[in-house]
Amino acid sequence: MPHRLAVYPGTFDPVSNGHLDVIERGSQLFEQMVVSCAVNISKQPLFSLDERLEMLREVTASFPNVRVESFSGMVVDYVRALGGKVILRGLRTFSDYENEVQMAYANRTFAPEIETVFVCASLEESFISSRLIREAAALDGDISRFVPPSVADRLRAKAQKLKGDLKDHGKGR
């Protein structure tokens, strides 16, 4: 039986054009896609959960079969609760591959009925990471190539906080 629902989990801090590439391609592969913003206690995101959800909803509004939610806990438990069988993940680099395969094996151990499907990033988006985008924004770099315009505006608005975070990080060295 074909899988009709896929869950694309992530922190999305901020959502990038690379994320949108995976979302667009996933929306063409699956009847329904849930882009789910993770509450990750080991990370301190720049944007609040509500801000990340709002940005995701803005930039995915044109995809009729995509909805945006959030979750905490194990992703396989969340996918199960939705009645899904597929976790969608994007791959940019070989190091992504190593990390993602390790996570897929762990998820498979906890939930053998749930598959992880990998989508390779488009070449143009393969080097984009949320960390790179945050750092470039903090240094007044032109981030318009990496994120949708509404996200770029939000990043610029947080530029002062980003600059302070970078200064604080540099003091610890």
pLDDT digits (tens, 9 = 90+) for 86-99: 999 998 877 778 88
Q: How far apart are CA 115 and CA 135, in angstroms?
A: 34
Q: What average pLDDT does range 156-162 have in this prediction?
A: 75
- Identified catalytic residue from 43, 145, 161, 169: 43
> Percent of the chain scored above 70 by pLDDT?
90
- Identified catalytic residue from 52, 85, 89, 92: 92
- Identified catalytic residue from 16, 89, 130, 134: 130
Q: Calculate the alpha carbon distances from 105 to 37, 79, 108, 142, 161 in Å.
A: 21, 16, 5, 38, 37
Has residue 89 been placed in a domain?
A: yes
Has residue 132 been placed in a domain?
A: no
Has residue 9 been placed in a domain?
A: yes
Verify whether residue 92 is a known catalytic residue.
yes
Residue type, 52: R
Number of folded domains that form the chain: 1
Verify whether residue 19 is a known catalytic residue.
yes
Confidence of residue 164 (pLDDT cuts 50, 70, 90): low
Has residue 161 been placed in a domain?
A: no
Has residue 144 been placed in a domain?
A: no
Strand segments (E) across the chain: 5-10, 32-38, 66-71, 86-91, 115-120
Has residue 115 been placed in a domain?
A: yes
The per-residue pLDDT for 173 is 45
Residue type, 89: R
Q: Is 36 helix (H, G, I), strand (E, B) or coil?
A: strand
Has residue 117 been placed in a domain?
A: yes
State the pTM of this model.
0.86
104: CB partners within 8 A, 6+ apart = 87, 89, 116
Least confident of 38-47, 78-87, 124-133, 164-173: 164-173
pLDDT at residue 1 tops 60: no
pLDDT tens digits for 41-81?
A: 677 888 999 999 999 999 999 999 999 999 999 999 999 99
User: What is the extent of the structural domain holding 27?
Assistant: 5-126
pLDDT at residue 37 tops 50: yes
- Identified catalytic residue from 16, 19, 36, 85: 19
The enclosing domain of 109 has a CATH number of 3.40.50.620
Has residue 101 been placed in a domain?
A: yes
